[in-house]
Amino acid sequence: GENVEQHPSTLSVQEGDSAVIKCTYSDSASNYFPWYKQELGKRPQLIIDIRSNVGEKKDQRIAVTLNKTAKHFSLHITETQPEDSAVYFCAAFSSGTYKYIFGTGTRLKVLA
C-alpha cells in the first residue's frame, strides 16, 4: 500500500545551522507534497508545499525539493532558530485516493 518514509526521526542542530529532513513515497500517483509543523499540544500546520510539476520551492528560510523519478522530497531549513523546534511531518497526497499519507515525523531541536 501507500507509504511515506521520513528520516531522521530526531534531529538536533545548533542555532544558526541548517536542518534537512528527507522523505520517500511509494505511490507514483502522488501529486502534492505538503510539509507540516506541529508544536507541542497543537495542531499540525502547513509550512510549505510543492506540487508534482515543480522541482523546488523556497519561502524565506524554508525550501523544499522534489525528485519525482526517485520519489524523494526534502525539507531544508536554514539559519535555524529555537522557535523552529517542533515535530515536522512530510505528506504525500494522491487525488486518486483522497488521502494524505504522512511520514512518521521528525522531532527537530534547535539548541541555543
List of residues contacting another protein (CB under 8 A): 31-32, 34, 38, 42-46, 49, 51, 87, 89, 91, 93, 95, 97-102, 104-105, 107
* Beta carbon nearer to another protein, 107 or 112: 107
Grid cell 544558526 — which residue?
Answer: 16
- For the chain, give percent helix, strand, coil, nearest 5: 5, 60, 40
* Beta carbon nearer to another protein, 31 or 74: 31
Q: Across-strand partners of 34?
A: 49
- The answer to whether the beta carbons of residues 46 and 35 sit under 8 Å apart is yes
* Beta carbon nearer to another protein, 21 or 87: 87
Least distance in Å: CB of 43 to another protein? 4
